[in-house]
Amino acid sequence: MPTLFDSYTLSGLPLRNRAVMAPMTRARNPDAVPNDLTAQYYRQRAGAGLIVTEGVPVSEIANGNLYVPGLYTDAQVEGWTKVTQAVHAEGGAIFAQLWHVGRASHQNLLMGRKPHSSTARTAQTKVFAYDLNGKPGFVPATEPHAMTTEEVRETAFDFGKAAHRAIKAGFDGVEIHGANGYLLEQFLNPLVNDRTDQYGAQNLDDRVRFVLEVVDSVVAATAAGKVGIRLSPWGRFNDMPDYAQIEDTYLHLIRKLAERELAYVHLMDQSNGQGRPEVDGQNAAFLAKVREAFPKGAIIHAGAMTLESGNDLLQQGLVDLVGFGQPFISNPDLVQRLQHGWPLVQPDRRTYYGGGSEGYTDYPAYQG
Ligand SMILES: Cc1cc2nc3c(=O)[nH]c(=O)nc-3n(C[C@H](O)[C@H](O)[C@H](O)COP(=O)(O)O)c2cc1C
């Protein structure tokens, strides 16, 4: 019976335990370039079996947040190289999360351009940008531009270019961000995707076409075993309405991902965080169906996981790895603390986004 503390081999990559540090945007890079503080933050957390970085925009137009480090310039590759070297020096493993926010953005972040999406309808959501007083804050997303067919193809290519840069920067692999209402989900959701071209949402094949082209572009730039994807089937973040065929859509997609032999599928369960206990879509029965649809690669589950619930999923054979987000913010040595039964520190939400070392690199390891 595996536990969180057992090692795991992820498509040939040895992980020393089964705890994954879930991707978390921390918005501490005003010039969009990772720096020494970024490297220190990830180094402190290298005890995770696998770190998935914060969401990393694949291009300028992919960005929807102030102070987020990207992967589309040489300076960014240099910055991320410091991070991967720091994590590897501690014996850790690290994937970059490749991100395109789509319409969850603001024209002020994009030099006046409209955010790109599957649709021209504005998302009823807020993004971290400059407010009316020119101060950083959460402001409503602005009207998007519905991408042309050609722009959709180019965007898939941007993911491949960023993946290539990620490998150059020393990452062990990449995670495609297909969750939380960002661009990929804006194509998957038929109540958001109102296109009439081959990337529309009329049938399951069209609905998943863009996501699969992104995957194929990233695999071509790396290798299938170095690629994972994050999905949040029942998530509503960023104005994602529920629709009738959620399970069918995602199982169809996951079968196609299995054919491509991706390293992992990372499922994020938002129901806890959103106070929607009535939404029980991502339950054991669904995880069992995912296992059937994705028999060879790894399954990661994240969202309010604890040592107990994580071990329970591992022991039922429903998942291979367990994702922890917020506990890693305030407990850099989270795995050791869980292993020894040491107390956990609660994170301070006020320092989640923006600022410097406070609430970022100043949470100490357990002192005894
Ligand atoms: C500050 C913060 C930033 C986050 N940024 C991202 C992100 O960039 N990409 C992503 O996929 N999820 C992001 N998430 C979601 C987390 O990866 C995780 O799924 C979520 O916090 C639930 O897990 P937890 O209950 O263990 O924190 C973020 C969460 C937090 C708290």
pLDDT profile of the chain (368 residues), mean per 10: 97 98 98 98 99 98 98 98 99 99 97 97 96 91 98 98 98 98 98 98 97 98 98 93 94 98 94 50 83 98 94 95 98 98 98 97 96
Ligand 1 atom having least distance to the Cα of 347? 31
Does the Cβ of 22 fall within 6 Å of ligand 1? yes
What the block records as the tokens of 210 is 């863009």
pTM: 0.97
- How far out from the chain centre does Cα 263 lie? 15
Q: What is the DSSP letter of 322?
A: E
Q: Which residues pair with 144 in a beta bridge?
A: none
Ligand 1 atom having least distance to the Cα of 230? 11
41 in catalytic set: no
pLDDT at residue 91, rounded to an integer: 98
Is residue 313 in a domain? Answer: yes
Does the Cβ of 160 fall within 6 Å of ligand 1? no
Residue whose Cα lies nearest atom 1 of ligand 1: it is 352
Does the Cβ of 237 fall within 6 Å of ligand 1? no
Q: Tell me the CA end-to-end span of the chain in Å, nearest whole number.
A: 30
Q: Which residues pair with 138 in a beta bridge?
A: 128
Assign residue 21 the CATH number of its domain.
3.20.20.70
Q: 21, 24, 26, 305: which to mutate for ligand 1, most atoms within 8 A of CB?
A: 24
Residue 323 alpha carbon to ligand 1 centre in Å: 10
Is residue 343 in a domain? Answer: no
Residue 23 alpha carbon to ligand 1 centre in Å: 6
Q: Which residues pair with 238 in a beta bridge?
A: none
pLDDT at residue 269, rounded to an integer: 87
Measured CA to CA, the distance from residue 287 to residue 317 in angstroms comes to 10
Does the Cβ of 180 fall within 6 Å of ligand 1? yes
Does the Cβ of 344 fall within 6 Å of ligand 1? no
Angle at 328 between CA 281 and CA 317, to 5 degrees: 45
pLDDT at residue 281, rounded to an integer: 56
Does the Cβ of 177 fall within 6 Å of ligand 1? yes
pLDDT at residue 285, rounded to an integer: 87
pLDDT at residue 275, rounded to an integer: 40
Instruction: Tell me how far CA of residue 213 lies from CA of 170, 193, 239, 268, in angstroms.
Output: 24, 16, 24, 22
Is residue 363 in a domain? Answer: no
Domain span holding position 146: 8-325
Residue 256 alpha carbon to ligand 1 centre in Å: 26
302-309's contacts with Cβ under 8 Å and 24+ in sequence apart are: 302/20, 302/22, 302/266, 302/267, 302/268, 302/269, 303/268, 303/269, 303/270, 303/271, 303/272, 303/273, 304/269, 304/272, 304/273, 307/4, 307/338
Is residue 279 in a domain? Answer: yes
At residue 223, the 3 state secondary structure works out as coil
Q: Give the active site residue among 8, 42, 72, 182.
A: 182
pLDDT at residue 272, rounded to an integer: 57
pLDDT at residue 277, rounded to an integer: 43
Is residue 344 in a domain? Answer: no
Residue 207 alpha carbon to ligand 1 centre in Å: 25
pLDDT at residue 278, rounded to an integer: 46
Answer yes or no: are the C-beta atoms of 272 and 237 closer than 8 Å: no
Residue 150 alpha carbon to ligand 1 centre in Å: 32
Residue whose Cα lies nearest atom 11 of ligand 1: it is 23
Does the Cβ of 28 fall within 6 Å of ligand 1? no
Is residue 340 in a domain? Answer: no
Does the Cβ of 269 fall within 6 Å of ligand 1? no
Is residue 180 in a domain? Answer: yes
Domain total of the chain = 1
Residue 326 alpha carbon to ligand 1 centre in Å: 7
* 13-15 vs 8-10, strand pairing mode: antiparallel
